[in-house]
């Protein structure tokens, strides 16, 4: 019979993945303890609040906390299962920084009892789940850690990569298929019992390295496809052909689905994860590396286009709309829009640049050093500008098309005003 998890569950990392996962499980009647090193995050969750914006999450968190199913703490407690959902950023040489994962494994180790499950959800290079098993094993020689070929283990270790899309997390958390890769087949089975609590999609069992590589491949696939769209966009700009018309027409072919060009690729996942593949096989990952380079170059291309437009004016005012890394989220970290704005501000120190974003109430740290930048509301910024640059297609910006843009030079990097 397929097993469904019962018991207490701890999740380490209360960010964009850990907190929604905690809520999804808590609302299925499981006691969930959210663990985070940041006391402010723990305090917010304990009050039933969410420290970031994600549709439908706030109401779910306040409900789960009010029911007493979700609690938060800075200390890893004893539990029957542990999910690691901490960041895996990259080092300067673009290899994965596994220090948060290692710290989480080391906090879990002293709490483990025979029969416990440990699941790594953080996106990780091939071999990381095995390392988690080794880090735990080194601290707990009394426990039999799972090894391929051995039927018996005291603890079950698996990888179940998160794959939800920011902005749609609460929906995708439930509806997406899940890949669960175990250090042994029994580990995969045990980990799957947790996801059966709330996942309506299929749960696909495999080994840990295949699961790790599948997740990286998903994000590299998207990065390569966005790079294709960005490269086409630059080619069309140079040939004075409308890229949006080209994509509209090409996508009417039954086997073509070109993605949207933009000012670059941001967020914490897509610009990072492909590098884990590159560093695992540097000689072979040529296309994946090139896609990264194309997308990383994109903010520079966009800024150069804006500067060229500004040179047609004696004393222009430029409005830049959007600062977050993509539309309708409040996350402005790793945002190509911010990079574009800083490049323009640096190239045109005498030009007044008005920036607007309904999700960003204060000037981002990276932009504070530029005396020619001002944060404005979008209407005011557009009203006063000679050149309007759309960097993020937030819903409220789309409506501007109908009223405010007449007589201005427009650079719509997202195709939202077509």
DSSP state letters, 361-415: -S--GGGTT-TTEEE--HHHHHHH-SEEEE-S--HHHHTHHHHT-TTSEEEETT-
- CB-nearer residue toward ligand SAJ: 167 or 185: 167
Q: How far is the CB of 263 from ligand SAJ (least distance, A)?
A: 8
Termini Cα distance of the chain: 54
**Which positions lie near ligand SAJ, rule CB under 6 A?**
123, 162-166, 218-219, 222, 226, 259-260, 262, 265-267, 269-270, 325-326, 336
- Among the listed residues 190, 269, 320, 326, the single catalytic one is 269
Active site residue 215: yes
Rounded to whole angstroms, the Cα distance separating 256 from 234 reads 19
Q: How far is CA 207 from CA 1, 117, 386, in A?
A: 21, 15, 57
- CB-nearer residue toward ligand SAJ: 262 or 316: 262
- CB-nearer residue toward ligand SAJ: 18 or 266: 266
Angle between helix 208-239 and helix 286-310 axes, rounded to 10 deg:
30
- CB-nearer residue toward ligand SAJ: 24 or 226: 226
Phi, psi of 113 (to 5 degrees): -125, 155
- CB-nearer residue toward ligand SAJ: 227 or 387: 227
- Among the listed residues 160, 187, 190, 215, the single catalytic one is 215
User: What residue ranges in 126-177 does DSSP mark as E strands?
Assistant: 156-159
Beta strand 117-120 with 70-73: parallel, antiparallel or unpaired? unpaired
Q: How far is the CB of 144 from ligand SAJ (least distance, A)?
A: 33
Rounded to whole angstroms, the Cα distance separating 226 from 223 reads 5
Q: How far is the CB of 266 from ligand SAJ (least distance, A)?
A: 4
Q: How far is the CB of 167 from ligand SAJ (least distance, A)?
A: 7
Which residue, 247, 254, 240, is CA-closest to 225? 247
- CB-nearer residue toward ligand SAJ: 37 or 259: 259
Q: How far is CA 41 from CA 10, 61, 87, 254, in A?
A: 16, 13, 15, 47
Q: How far is the CB of 166 from ligand SAJ (least distance, A)?
A: 4
Which secondary structure element, helix H or strand E, spans residue 33, and what is its range? strand 31-35
- CB-nearer residue toward ligand SAJ: 163 or 190: 163
Q: How far is the CB of 8 from ligand SAJ (least distance, A)?
A: 26
Q: How far is the CB of 115 from ligand SAJ (least distance, A)?
A: 30
The C-alpha angle 291, 292, 296, rounded to 5 degrees, equals: 120
Rounded to whole angstroms, the Cα distance separating 331 from 360 reads 8
**Do 319 and 40 touch, CB atoms closer than 8 A?**
no
The residues annotated with a catalytic role in the active site are 215, 269
């Amino acid at each position: 019979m397929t097993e469904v998890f019962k018991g207490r569950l701890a999740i380490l990392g209360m960010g964009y993945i850990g907190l929604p996962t905690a809520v999804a499980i808590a609302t299925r009647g499981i006691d969930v303890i959210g663990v985070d090193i940041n006391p402010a995050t723990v305090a917010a969750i304990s009050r039933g609040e969410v420290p970031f914006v994600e549709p439908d999450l706030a109401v779910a968190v306040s409900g789960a906390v009010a029911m007493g199913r979700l609690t938060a703490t800075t200390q890893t407690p004893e539990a029957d299962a542990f999910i690691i959902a901490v960041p895996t950023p990259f080092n300067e040489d673009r290899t994965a920084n596994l220090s948060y994962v290692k710290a989480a494994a080391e906090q879990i180790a002293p709490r483990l009892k025979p029969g416990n499950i440990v699941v790594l959800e953080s996106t990780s290079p091939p071999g990381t789940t095995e390392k988690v098993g080794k880090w735990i094993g080194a601290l707990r020689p009394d426990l039999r850690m799972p090894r391929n070929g051995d039927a018996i283990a005291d603890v079950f270790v698996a990888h179940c990569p998160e794959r939800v899309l920011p902005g749609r997390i609460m929906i995708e958390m439930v509806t997406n298929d899940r890949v669960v890769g175990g250090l042994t087949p029994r580990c995969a089975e045990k980990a799957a019992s947790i996801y059966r609590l709330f996942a309506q999609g299929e749960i696909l069992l495999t080994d840990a390295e295949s699961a790790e590589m599948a997740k990286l491949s998903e994000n590299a696939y998207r990065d390569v496809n966005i790079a294709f769209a960005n490269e086409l966009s630059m080619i069309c700009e140079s040939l004075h052909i409308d890229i949006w018309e080209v994509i509209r027409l090409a996508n009417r072919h039954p086997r073509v689905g070109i993605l949207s060009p933009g000012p670059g690729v941001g967020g914490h996942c897509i610009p990072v994860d492909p590098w884990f593949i590159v560093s695992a096989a540097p000689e072979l990952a040529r296309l994946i590396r090139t896609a990264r380079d194309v997308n990383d170059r994109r903010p520079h291309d966009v800024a150069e286009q804006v500067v060229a437009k500004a040179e047609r004016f004696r004393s222009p005012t430029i409005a830049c709309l959007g600062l977050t890394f993509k539309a309708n989220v409040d996350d402005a970290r790793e945002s190509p829009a911010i990079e574009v704005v800083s490049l323009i501000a640096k190239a045109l120190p005498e030009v007044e640049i008005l920036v607007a974003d309904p999700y960003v109430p204060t000037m981002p740290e990276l932009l504070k050093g530029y005396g020619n930048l001002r944060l404005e509301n979008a209407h005011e910024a557009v009203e006063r500008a000679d050149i309007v640059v759309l960097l993020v297609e937030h819903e409220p910006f789309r409506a501007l098309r109908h009223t405010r843009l007449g007589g201005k030079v427009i650079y719509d990097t997202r195709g939202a005003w077509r």
